[in-house]
Structure 1
Amino acid sequence: MHKVMISVGEASGDLHGASIADALKELEPDIRIFGMGGQAMRKAGVEIVHDIADLGIIGFVEVVKNLPRFFRLRDELIDLMKKEQPDVLLVIDYPDFNMRLAPKARELGIPVVSYIPPSAWAWRKGRAKSVAKIVDKIASIFPFEAEVYQKAGADVEFVGHPLIDIIKPSMDKETAYKFFGINPNQPVILLLPGSRKHEIENLLPVMLKSAEKIKLIYPECQFILPVASTISQEMLQGMIKQYSVNVKLTFENTYDLMAIADSAIAASGTVTLEAAILGLPTVVIYKMAAMTYFIGRLLVKIPNISLPNIVAGKRIIPELLQYEVNADNIARETLALLPLSEQGEKVRKELLAVKEKLGAGGAVKRAAQVVLNAAKKR
């Protein structure tokens, strides 16, 4: 029986970790999987030794402030590796933490597989060589990403994008409208402020202000906020009460919800690609601490920050960055994406092309096989 240890730090990584765990169990039913994750991984049968619910930290400045906490957590996971001696460590995304954990695993003779590796194609391009030295195998989700790591000397395999396998609505539209209590004849706008506390505090207030402005133009608009497993419902309700707009909170079947929504306002991240796959036009917003943003601008070398635009190779959905993130701008861009508008229909067609570029599926099974192969080699 092989033992696999997984390390993730965010809700999106938790989802990918759960999918990999399911695929690993199909390949080897008696495999043991444990590590750091959340509710999705727990439901997939992973033994969770540290829950990620309290890891709501982003950005350079925020990470620096929390370094002592990160070091303590890293040491806890190192002690776990020493005790359990897993056959492989699978690190998923969350690079500022996982790329500090990986070298320690290799010192213990434990091979490391990086799934959804650091975005060296976007920034810190020299980091690709560093990552190549501290992980044994990279399972890449973008073809252009695989090329960057190959040039850096990494052992990399392009497996395709896992979201094509994961994002599958379970209901038809009529059933979904009834399930969520949504009027199909009135616009549905999703608020997607992120899965981390810092993002919620930073972005939800301006989203709610923009919702107030949209309501003035389209009073019948319905606003819905899918709650990430890492976020407190009470915190969200407390923030929403401060604004004169009704927002319905939902807790499950988010992909079914995205499939019937008309547009969304979203924090930059994986959720924007999820929305793209489901054909949901989205206004992407990105706002961080001033110093974090300044450092990022110096390092980021790509014209667009949202994954749908990066995959498309051009800007197809609106992006509002830092000082552009205000209620007026968000409301204007969101209204332009609603159905029957020329811009909205154009974006929907462009999103179909983005989905095609991500491949036909099977990425999760291929990634799981990469992990199992690494475990067998040990």
Structure 2
Amino acid sequence: MKIMLSAGEVSGDLHGASIAAAIHELSPETELIGFGGKQMQAAGVRLNADMADYSVMGVWEVILNLRRIMRLLNHLTNVMKEERPDLLVLIDYPDFNWRLAKRAKELGIPVFSYIPPSAWAWRKGRAKSCAALADEFAAIFPFETKVYEDAGANISFVGNPLVDKVRPSMSDEEAKAYFGIKADEYPVLLMPGSRRQEIELLFPAMLEAAKRIKEVKKDTVFYLPVAQSMAQEDMEKMAEKAGVDIRFTHDHTYDLMAQAEFSLATSGTVVLEAALMGLPCIVLYRLSPVSYFFGKLLVHVRFFSLPNILLGEEIQPELLQDEVNPERILKEARRFWEESSYAEGVRKKLREACDRLGPPNAAKRVAERILAAAVRLGADKQTFGGSV
């Protein structure tokens, strides 16, 4: 049996790797191919294209890179024709993956959607069009299912795989020794995102805020966990120019999260990972002016960070666009050391939010559904051929 996976972002690569490992544990003979990153490759997926060459964010940025993205779409379509997978599994990355799903459907390949588009937040009509293309859906958040059920989709909430993955590997004493955190130091994490555009849009404001935090609270030390796709040398130069001393790290990030007091973090999966480790965040998000203009027209949500969405209230501060400035970040940061009960109150709410992510073993549950769908639907797939 052969299954094709498609993921185009760091978070999707993480989820794809968890799925791949679970599939191989349940069915070692299953061949996994597709589009993803280094984590999926390490988990046994034979990559037909590497996502590191194609990751962009924002409406305007996608338009600028449209020709390159179309070449990727055509390439993966040819892969499907040649490889004849029993099932195509889409992992998030909606703007690209649902174009690929349409190609798969035209070729008679069944489609399984893992982490479907956020129709609950914007463009609710997508749920109906997606339900017409995908044979089965699996959601990792409980609030995602209703809009798809209303559209007639076969969808289930399988829980979130981060519940299994995000945990410390060291004791507090070991972690402090490993990262060189002294008893009289106040560690703060900077997590500017892994994509070039996120770093360009958010890291300068983080650095200016860090500089002001250090002026006010002199025992602060800053750590920055470096993801595989991040350009550390560029960030080091930016930090040096801003006059901010940062300790860059490359492993045991969850152990580091457990030791930090709070984080300045770009909105995304990393904020949920931090929540699972009990790390409060000041959540930042900024898009290019064009992308933000379209976003305001299309997106209608109260919150944009996952812990806040899970509980339906502002557990921790969210700063958007012009709010991402050193003065506002410093104002939010001061609460962590000036208000004695604030940090613990945030941590308590984070635990409540994480309780809504479902029980452990989510990756195994979705792998079981994928394998069952590949057997059930793959046997009926149409004969390949024709042009797309």
TM-score, normalised relative to structure 1: 0.97
Identify the residue that residue 363 of structure 1 maps to in structure 2.
Answer: 362
Q: How far apart, CA to CA, are the structure 2 residues paired with 1:196 and 1:127?
A: 26
Contact 1:53–1:229 (8 Å) recurs in 2: no
Contact 2:54 2:69 in 1 (8 A): no
> Does 1:308 find its partner at 2:307?
yes
Alignment of 1:1-378 (within 5 A): 2-338=1-337, 341-377=340-376, 378=378
- Structure 2: how far apart are the matches of 1:184 and 1:282? 22
Aligned position for 2:384: none
Residue 237 of structure 2 aligns with an amino acid whose one-letter code is G
Q: After superposition, what is the alpha-carbon deviation per residue over 1:350-374, rounded to whole angstroms, capped at 9, x for unaligned?
A: 1110111112212111111111111
Q: Give yes or no for contact 1:24–1:369 (8 Å, CA) kept in 2.
A: yes
SS at match of 2:144: helix
1:49 counterpart SS class? strand
> Structure 2 unaligned runs (5+)?
379-388
Q: Deviations over 1:53-72 (max 9, x none)?
A: 23331111111111111101
Kept in 1, the 8 Å contact 2:121–2:300? The answer is yes
Per-residue CA shift, 1:59-86, capped at 9, x if unaligned? Answer: 1111111111110111111111111111
| Cα displacement (A) at 1:238 | 2.2
AA in 2 matched with 1:197: R
* 1:339 positional shift: 8.6
1:185 Cα deviation after fit: 3.5
Moved over 6 A (4+): none
Rounded Cα–Cα distance in structure 2 between residues aligned with 1:150 and 1:254 = 37
Q: 1:129, 1:152 within 8 Å by CA — same for their partners in 2?
A: yes
Q: Determine the C-alpha separation between the residues in 2 that align with 1:306 and 1:338.
A: 23
Distance 1:97 1:26 in 2: 29
Q: Which runs of 5+ in 1 are unaligned?
A: none
Conserved 8 A contact 2:158-2:358: no
* Residues 14, 41 of structure 1: 8 Å contact kept: yes
Task: Give the total of aligned pairs.
Answer: 377
Q: For the structure 1 residues 338 and 35, does the alpha-carbon distance in structure 2 shift closer, same or farther, using more than 3 Å as the test?
A: farther
Amino acid aligned to 2:163: I
RMSD: 1.3
Cα distance in 2 for residues equivalent to 1:341 and 1:70:
50
Q: 2:46 and 2:177 mapped to 1: Cα distance?
A: 36
Q: 1:237 to 1:192 in 2, by over 3 A?
A: same
Aligned-residue offset at 1:212: 0.2
Deviations 1:299-325 (A, max 9, x none): 222111111100011111000011111
SS of equivalent residue, structure 1 residue 296? helix
Distance 2:177 2:290 in 1: 45
What does the per-residue CA deviation read over 1:119-147, in whole Å, with 9 as the maximum and x for residues that have no partner?
11111111111111111111011222111
Between the aligned partners of 1:110 and 1:347, the Cα distance in structure 2 is 46
CA distance in structure 2 between the partners assigned to 1:287 and 1:143 by the alignment: 26
- TM-score after normalising by structure 2: 0.94
Query: How many Å separate the matches in 1 of 2:292 and 2:42?
Result: 36
Q: Aligned AA for 1:68?
A: R
Q: Give 1:24 deviation, angstroms.
A: 0.2
